[in-house]
């Protein structure tokens, strides 16, 4: 996903590379979304899975909408500066994806025995 966003930011003038960047971003999002949701729901007790799933879907949609608003605002600010600012914006989002992936993998998860007790 980060690679796709970086390609979008760097190659905005070359349409084929822009399309490849968007495709890589979408594939990365698809590969990231399901395992993270599954890992989160596996940490819940069986009777709480339905509530956890609805809670997860609610917050995912809310943050997705909020991120679109923020992205549009940043896009408008950068567009008024120049086209180079748009490329910088996509590269910054790529860095955010990479940092959040590293942080997410550093979080300690409970072992199977901790879940049971």
pLDDT per residue as tens digits for the range 66-113: 877 877 777 777 666 666 666 777 788 788 888 888 877 776 666 655
User: Does 52 have pLDDT greater than 70?
Assistant: yes
2 Cβ contact list (under 8 Å, min separation 6): 28, 94, 95, 97, 98, 101
Strand, coil or helix: 51: helix
Q: Is the dihedral of CA 36, 38, 43, 44 positive or negative?
A: positive
Residue 10 CA from chain centroid, whole number: 19
Residues in the chain: 117
Q: Which range, of 16-20, 47-51, 54-58, 101-105, averages the lowest pLDDT?
A: 16-20
Break the chain down into helix, strand, coil percent, rounded to 5.
85, 0, 15
pLDDT > 70 in the chain, percent? 68
């Amino acid at each position: 996903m980060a690679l796709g966003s970086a390609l979008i930011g760097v190659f905005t003038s070359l349409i084929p590379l822009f399309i490849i960047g968007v495709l890589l971003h979408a594939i990365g999002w698809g590969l990231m979304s399901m395992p993270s949701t599954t890992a989160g729901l596996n940490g819940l007790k069986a009777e709480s899975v339905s509530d956890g799933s609805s809670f997860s879907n609610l917050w995912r949609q809310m943050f997705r909408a909020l991120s679109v608003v923020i992205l549009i605002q940043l896009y408008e600010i950068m567009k008024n500066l120049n086209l180079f600012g748009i490329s910088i914006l996509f590269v910054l989002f790529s860095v955010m994806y990479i940092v959040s992936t590293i942080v997410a993998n550093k979080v300690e998860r409970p072992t199977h025995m901790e879940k049971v007790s």
